[in-house]
Structure 1
Amino acid sequence: MRIAIISPGPFSVPPVKGSSVEHDIDEVSKMFGPHHEVTIYTRTCKTYPRSSEEEGRRIVRFPYKGPGPYLKKILFDLKKRRPDVIMVENRPNFVPALRKKFPRTPIYVNMHSHVYAAKWFISPEKMRKICRMADGFLTNSEYLRRHFIRKHQMSPEKVHAVHLGVDVGPYQQAKLEVPARQLRQKLGLKPEHRVIFYAGRLIPAKGVHVLLQAFREVSQQDPQARLVIVGGTGYGSNRLSPYVRRLHEMAKPLGDKVRFVKFIPSKEMPLYYQIGDVVATPSVWQEPFCRVNLEAMAASKPVITTPRGGISEVVAHAETGFVIPPAEWKEKLPEIWEVLWGVPHLRQRLGKQALQRAKQFSWYATAQGYLQVFEKGVEERAKSPSPLKKAS
């Protein structure tokens, strides 16, 4: 099967600045196997050549000067390659131009969140039209699948939930490396310190303020408690936004008990997860999936998180960590912290169970889920006597 994957465009594949969608494209596309011809369309950047062949994939790069010019170049190249199926990543508004050029080719939209289908980005009327034009949608969680069915009046048969994956190897290997211990020392952390670790963007939706409020209570009962916050305002950005300034103000009374670490590229994160004893993801918005939880579990770390969006599809309460509503963190986190350090072997047991759970989310499984959808779409198109009717 000839598979064409169209990345959104603002970031490169493989990612240089840690962008999550591009990371997912890079990982899953390696797993389609030698029986499939994979072409990835992405932007040019200084790190990579204009186009390349690597790990069984052809990566074609075009300058990104906005979505229109970017898509136009992709359409021209696609005509030459004649793909059997096209997967558009996170940009449903690319579908009309693709459908016009490829009336009989199966087109799928892989939505990593609901953001780029929201009315601020695309009108509800146009979105419904696109839903009819596309052969189907892929989502990274059952939660997001239900959202698209309900919000955009889609047929349940056209929306397919396929969880993302993780490669546990680098996270387990990092546990054995001397640099992990050196990194803790570099941050001024002592062996006796008990560390809560946060990784992600520093934006209100991620709830870092909720974590700081709750940690203040934890630090009062445990002098050895420390909080390490890794991330920036965006992918590769360490801009001091008003929210980041607010976080620093909140942390100031806690002194050296809170440490901020700026943006770290994704390839270095397996090492950074070793800093923490527990990983916290205090999201207050409806997380479609929250890959940080899966990465933490791959590092054998118990997770403290919230029941927002698709998170509960990954984290099992009291088995791989703890799931607490954001409004209850200030009260519940000190209680959980006391249990984590008071019950013998609890953290180790949760960590082992977290790792076993993470192993169930492989990139190979993600790729197989996509291929099942694609193969069915190609088969149905072959049976169809005429192109998909255009929505009017």
Structure 2
Amino acid sequence: MKIAIISPGPFSVPPVKGSSVEHDIDEVTKMIDPEHQVTIYTRTCDTYPRSAVEENREFIRFSYNQGPKLYLQRIIRHIRKRKPDVIMVENRPIYVLALKRHFPKIPMFVNMHSHVYASKGMISKEKMKKVVRLTAGFFTNSEYLRRHFMKACRIPAHKIHAVHLGVDVSPYQVAKIHFSIRKIRKQIGLQPEDRVLFYAGRLMRAKGVHVLLKAFREVSEQDPLARLVIVGGTGYGSNRLNPYVRELKKLAKPLGDKVKFVNFVPSAQMPLYYQLGDVVATPSVWQEAFCRVNLEAMASGKPVITTPRGGIGEVVTHQGSGFLLPPEKWKKELPAVWNLLWGVPAIRTEMGKNALMRAKQFSWYATAQGYLNVFEKVCKKQKTPSPSKQTLRKTG
């Protein structure tokens, strides 16, 4: 099968400065069986050549500097030469409208990573309705997001498939014994006896970092050894000081050196940084579709304290691999959870083991197989003549 995958365009695949969608494209396509040919369309950047081949994957890169319209036009011209069996559009349903005008007979899928790019501000209700009609199917990274689109966009149940993302636990486990961890701890100003609560992600209100800081203030009052390490910037690769970051710094100021802000860290280095934490916190206040940070934390063998928003509960098991606390209860309940984890160390150890076991259930190979199974069914159905056509052939 020849599969064309179209990345959104603002970031490169593989990602240089982060970006979760592009990371997911890179990881899952590595696991697609070698009998399939995969062409990944993405943007040009200084790090990579305009085209490259890696086993059964080919990267074709076009400029995105002039925006999505010209980027997509160049991709369309290239697809004409390749004639793929399937086209997968990543997180940009609006692209389908242009693509279908040129390739009406090629089955087309949209892989939605969140609700954002199918929302009113990104695509009109009428255009989204047309996309639903034109596509062969949709993928989501959680059952929560699948149900959201079934209701919000009236996508028929048989046409939308929930396929969880994966994680490779190896780099996170290898990082545990890496020599540079001690150096990083020293740079940040952590002492050997410190008990570290760790946050990784963008510094944006939806991620609830303000909720974490307010709750951590209560934790620090009862535990003088508690420290909070916050890794991330305002965007992928950006450490801009915006009003929200200023608000976070203001909340952290009374806590002094108990709170450590670390700027954006490239995803390739993150397995090392997760080792700084004893427990990982993801205080999301919005409806997270999946929250990959939880899975990465669990791959590091860390208990996770998170919220039951969106699809998070499909990944983290409450009182198994972590705790699911509603955001409005963090200030009251985080100190009690922290006391439990440090008052009974065996619980923290057991949760860490459970977290690792849970993470191993989410593999990129399983994600790839989930996509391929749907592609193959649709392609097989398209090649099989309908009963009416078979009757016509017999009588003709």
- TM-score of the superposed pair, with normalisation by structure 1: 0.97
- Which amino acid is the alignment partner of residue 165 of structure 1? G
SS of residue matched to 2:181? helix
- The offset of 1:182, in angstroms, is 2.0
- The aligned counterpart of 2:290 is 289
CA distance in 2, matches of 1:101, 1:308: 39
- The aligned counterpart of 2:18 is 18
Residues 100-129 of structure 1 show CA distances to partners (whole Å, capped at 9, x for unaligned) of: 111111100000000000000111111011
CA distance in 2, matches of 1:137, 1:197: 34
- The offset of 1:383, in angstroms, is 2.7
CA distance in 2, matches of 1:82, 1:298: 39
CA distance in 2, matches of 1:175, 1:118: 41
- The aligned counterpart of 1:191 is 192
- The aligned counterpart of 1:88 is 89
Residues 69-122 of structure 1 show CA distances to partners (whole Å, capped at 9, x for unaligned) of: 000000000011110000000000010111111111110000000000000011
CA distance in 2, matches of 1:151, 1:344: 45
Residues 228-247 of structure 1 show CA distances to partners (whole Å, capped at 9, x for unaligned) of: 00000000110001000000
- Which amino acid is the alignment partner of residue 99 of structure 1? K
The answer on 1:238 being equivalent to 2:239 is yes
- Structure 1: state its 5+ residue gaps: 386-392
The answer on 1:4 being equivalent to 2:4 is yes
CA distance in 1, matches of 2:358, 2:385: 41
Alignment check: 8 A CA contact 1:104 1:381 kept:
no
CA distance in 2, matches of 1:207, 1:383: 50
Alignment check: 8 A CA contact 1:279 1:296 kept:
yes
- The offset of 1:55, in angstroms, is 4.0
SS of residue matched to 1:71? helix
CA distance in 2, matches of 1:282, 1:384: 52
- The aligned counterpart of 2:340 is 339
SS of residue matched to 1:240? coil
CA distance in 2, matches of 1:195, 1:374: 44
- The offset of 1:344, in angstroms, is 3.2
- State the Cα RMSD in Å: 1.0
- Structure 2: state its 5+ residue gaps: 387-396
- The aligned counterpart of 1:61 is 61
Residues 17-44 of structure 1 show CA distances to partners (whole Å, capped at 9, x for unaligned) of: 1000000000000110211000000000
- The aligned counterpart of 1:373 is 374
Aligned pairs (5 A) from 1:1-392: 1-64=1-64, 65-383=66-384
SS of residue matched to 1:92? coil
CA distance in 2, matches of 1:384, 1:226: 65
- Which amino acid is the alignment partner of residue 58 of structure 2? R
Check 1:55–1:346 CA distance in 2 against 1; reply closer, same or farther (3 A cut).
farther
- The offset of 1:181, in angstroms, is 2.1
Residues 194-223 of structure 1 show CA distances to partners (whole Å, capped at 9, x for unaligned) of: 000000000000000000000000000000
- Which amino acid is the alignment partner of residue 215 of structure 2? A
Check 1:193–1:92 CA distance in 2 against 1; reply closer, same or farther (3 A cut).
same
SS of residue matched to 1:40? strand
Alignment check: 8 A CA contact 1:198 1:281 kept:
yes
Residues 167-191 of structure 1 show CA distances to partners (whole Å, capped at 9, x for unaligned) of: 0000000001121122112211111
Q: Is the deviation greater in 311-320 or in 176-185?
A: 176-185
CA distance in 2, matches of 1:167, 1:384: 41
CA distance in 2, matches of 1:316, 1:46: 41
CA distance in 2, matches of 1:334, 1:83: 55
Alignment check: 8 A CA contact 1:167 1:363 kept:
yes
SS of residue matched to 1:376? helix
CA distance in 2, matches of 1:70, 1:128: 24
- Which amino acid is the alignment partner of residue 243 of structure 2? P
4+ aligned runs moved over 4 Å, structure 1: none
Alignment check: 8 A CA contact 1:198 1:230 kept:
yes
CA distance in 1, matches of 2:228, 2:376: 47
Alignment check: 8 A CA contact 1:105 1:381 kept:
no
SS of residue matched to 1:345? helix
- Which amino acid is the alignment partner of residue 36 of structure 1? H
- Which amino acid is the alignment partner of residue 312 of structure 2? I
CA distance in 2, matches of 1:241, 1:306: 25
- The offset of 1:56, in angstroms, is 2.6
- Which amino acid is the alignment partner of residue 139 of structure 1? T
- TM-score of the superposed pair, with normalisation by structure 2: 0.96
- Which amino acid is the alignment partner of residue 203 of structure 2? L
Aligned residues: 386
- Which amino acid is the alignment partner of residue 66 of structure 1? G
